[in-house]
């Protein structure tokens, strides 16, 4: 959870254009069809804009609200009018281990 609410946010983002709970994410150990992933790949990160007024951007593209987006290594996330950028770094991404 990204946002301004210190009691709830995993990543605190202090900017007046952001909500207390701006975006959320989900980790999944399963493929979209419900089959289990390989044991070495336990989680894949996802991001969802929680219908924020000032929006969330992934690699410069505005996200649709209330829709999950799978994050990949090297993705850049920005929130609202904030100029701060968040770069996703992962040891492994998907089945390829990239």
Residue 83 has pLDDT above 70, yes or no: yes
Q: Say how far apart CA 50 and CA 72 lie, in whole Å.
A: 20
Q: How many residues does the chain have?
A: 98
Mean pLDDT on 88-92: 72
Q: Does some domain include residue 2? A: yes
Position 95 scores a pLDDT of: 47
* pLDDT number for residue 12: 77
Residue 97 in any domain: the answer is no
Tell me if 98 is assigned to some domain. no
Has residue 21 been placed in a domain?
Answer: yes
Tell me how many domains the chain contains: 1
Flag whether 86 is in a domain.
Answer: yes
Domain that holds residue 77: 1-92
Q: Work out the pLDDT band at 1, boundaries 50, 70, 90.
A: confident
43-50: average pLDDT: 84
CATH number for the domain that contains residue 80 = 2.60.200.20
Does some domain include residue 47? yes
Does residue 4 lie in a domain region?
Answer: yes
């Amino acid at each position: 959870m990204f946002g301004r609410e210190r009691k709830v946010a995993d990543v605190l983002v202090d900017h007046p254009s952001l909500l207390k709970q701006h975006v959320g994410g989900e980790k999944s150990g399963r493929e979209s069809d419900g089959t289990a992933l390989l044991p070495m790949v336990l989680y894949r990160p996802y991001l969802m804009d929680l219908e924020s007024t000032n929006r969330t951007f992934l690699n410069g593209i505005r996200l649709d609200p209330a829709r999950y987006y799978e994050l990949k290594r090297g993705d850049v996330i920005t929130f609202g009018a904030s100029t701060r950028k968040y770069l996703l770094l992962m040891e492994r991404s998907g089945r390829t281990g990239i």
